[in-house]
């Protein structure tokens, strides 16, 4: 059954841990669901994709004929024209023909199934209905396990040779610095991701323990079942903890270095920050803007021409919403 003339789009956010899907209606999500990603094989991942589509169809009373499009946001290098994942570092999907597999599994025409890189899809979501709305030059930088980026230049998604553009987390900000999974040293991802912030927090707590310095981060970790989160240092710093303040200041220095590079290269009208760390809001943004605006190349221009640095608006739903808009 199809709903009264409205366009029925399903978005799927395929991640290393979960596959999340939703039905997009009037620019918002009418229904959401998710399953754990079974990463044991290509067919297991493809089954998971079909499962979430069936879940959405059942919950929303849709049949295959009533679906106008299914978009899948995938990590890795993705050939959107062919609907094929060309390369994926974290999922067993190198060469997987998602378009053909998903369309035959759920009975929807292949030309209605579209795929895109996950960071690109999230950027697309923010560009159409989030903080990038109304701009022509927009970028989304997500701070999570790694650093992801999606970049829209002059109204077009930056794709590059072999659909590999936008791996901005693997630009070096500390020459000869920490080893990165990509094989280089000093990549921004090793300093600016949420995982990096957790490592920096852990190291500081250990230093404090060794040197007999008090830090309230220790209690926060104990209260959180022994887990360090990307919020630990921010919460303790806001509470006046000196060691935590040092962690936050150092993290913001790295982040501002990376983002200033991006702004100098792409000059977006809006640069949005997504991922877990963006939950800090103004505690993160205010000092970050101060640093970036003091360093970026064209800082002597009138303030209204500056890149606006904002938190992403769609949060965890950006992948699903963006996928539905591919």
237 makes contact with Zn ion (CB under 5 A): no
Residue (66 or 177) nearer to Zn ion, CB: 177
Q: How far is the CB of 184 from Zn ion (least distance, A)?
A: 5
105: closest CA among 66, 67, 49?
A: 49
3-state helix, strand, coil in the chain (%, to 5): 45, 20, 35
Q: Specify which residues 149 forms β-bridges with.
A: 141
Residue (182 or 250) nearer to Zn ion, CB: 182
Residue (7 or 181) nearer to Zn ion, CB: 181
Residues 3-22 binding Zn ion (CB under 5 A) are none
196 makes contact with Zn ion (CB under 5 A): no
Please answer whether residues 238 and 245 qualify as being in contact, where contact means their C-beta atoms are separated by less than 8 angstroms: no
Q: How far is the CB of 179 from Zn ion (least distance, A)?
A: 9
Candidates 126-134, 187-195, 243-251, 276-284: pick the segment binding Zn ion (CB under 5 A). Answer: 187-195
Instruction: Note the maximum CA span of the chain.
Output: 67
149-153: long-range contacts, CB 8 A cutoff, minimum separation 24: 149/119, 149/123, 149/262, 150/117, 150/119, 150/120, 150/121, 150/122, 150/123, 150/124, 151/123, 151/266, 151/268, 152/123, 152/124, 152/127, 152/268, 153/266
Residue (80 or 88) nearer to Zn ion, CB: 88
Residue (134 or 183) nearer to Zn ion, CB: 183
Q: Specify which residues 35 forms β-bridges with.
A: 19
C-alpha span between 285 and 280 (Å, rounded): 8
Selected from 124, 180, 220, 235, the binder of Zn ion by CB under 5 A is 180
- Within 10 angstroms of residue 171's Cβ, the number of other Cβ atoms is 17
Candidates 34-42, 172-180, 204-212, 245-253: pick the segment binding Zn ion (CB under 5 A). Answer: 172-180
Residue (83 or 144) nearer to Zn ion, CB: 144
Selected from 128, 170, 245, 283, the binder of Zn ion by CB under 5 A is 170
Residue (187 or 312) nearer to Zn ion, CB: 187
C-alpha span between 323 and 71 (Å, rounded): 5
Q: Specify which residues 18 forms β-bridges with.
A: 36
Residue (33 or 180) nearer to Zn ion, CB: 180
Q: How far is the CB of 293 from Zn ion (least distance, A)?
A: 27
Candidates 31-39, 101-109, 173-181, 266-274: pick the segment binding Zn ion (CB under 5 A). Answer: 173-181
Residue (138 or 191) nearer to Zn ion, CB: 191
187 makes contact with Zn ion (CB under 5 A): yes
Alpha helices for 212-266 (secondary structure H) = 217-223, 232-238, 242-266
Candidates 70-78, 145-153, 167-175, 295-303: pick the segment binding Zn ion (CB under 5 A). Answer: 167-175
Residue with tokens 């109304």: 134
Candidates 61-69, 151-159, 178-186, 246-254: pick the segment binding Zn ion (CB under 5 A). Answer: 178-186
Binding-residue total with Zn ion (CB under 5 A): 5
Selected from 30, 35, 182, 267, the binder of Zn ion by CB under 5 A is 182
**Residue 236 CA, distance from chain mean position:** 25
Q: At 8, list the tokens.
A: 């029925």
Per CB under 5 A, residues contacting Zn ion are 170, 180, 182, 184, 187
């Amino acid at each position: 059954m199809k709903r009264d003339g409205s366009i029925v789009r399903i978005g799927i956010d395929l991640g290393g841990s979960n596959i999340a899907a939703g039905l997009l209606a009037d620019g918002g999500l009418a229904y959401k669901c998710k399953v754990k990603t079974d990463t044991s094989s290509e067919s297991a991942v493809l089954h998971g994709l079909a499962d979430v589509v069936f879940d959405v169809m059942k919950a929303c009373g849709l049949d295959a004929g009533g679906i106008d499009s299914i978009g899948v946001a995938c990590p890795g290098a993705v050939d959107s024209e062919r609907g094929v994942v060309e390369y994926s570092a974290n999922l067993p999907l190198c060469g997987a023909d998602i378009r053909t597999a998903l369309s035959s599994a759920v009975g929807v025409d292949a030309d209605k199934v579209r795929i895109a890189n996950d960071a690109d899809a999230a950027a697309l979501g923010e560009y159409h209905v989030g903080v990038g709305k109304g701009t022509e030059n927009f970028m989304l930088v997500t701070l999570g396990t790694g650093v992801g980026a999606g970049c829209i230049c002059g109204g077009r998604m930056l794709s590059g040779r072999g659909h590999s553009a936008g791996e901005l987390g693997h630009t070096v900000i500390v020459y000869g610095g920490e080893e990165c999974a990509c094989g280089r040293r000093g990549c921004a991802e090793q300093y600016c991701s949420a995982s990096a912030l957790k490592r920096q927090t852990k190291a500081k707590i250990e230093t404090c323990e060794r040197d007999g310095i008090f830090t309230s981060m220790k209690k926060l970790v104990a209260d959180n079942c022994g887990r360090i989160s990307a919020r630990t240092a921010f919460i303790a710093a806001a509470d006046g903890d000196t060691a935590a303040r040092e962690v936050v200041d150092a993290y913001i220095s790295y982040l501002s270095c990376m983002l200033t590079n991006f702004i100098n290269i792409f000059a977006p009208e809006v640069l949005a920050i997504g991922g877990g760390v963006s939950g800090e809001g103004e505690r993160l943004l205010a000092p970050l803007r101060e640093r970036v605006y003091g360093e970026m190349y064209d800082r002597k221009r009138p303030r209204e021409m500056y890149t606006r640095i904002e938190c992403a608006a769609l949060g965890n739903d950006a992948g699903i919403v963006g996928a539905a808009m591919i």
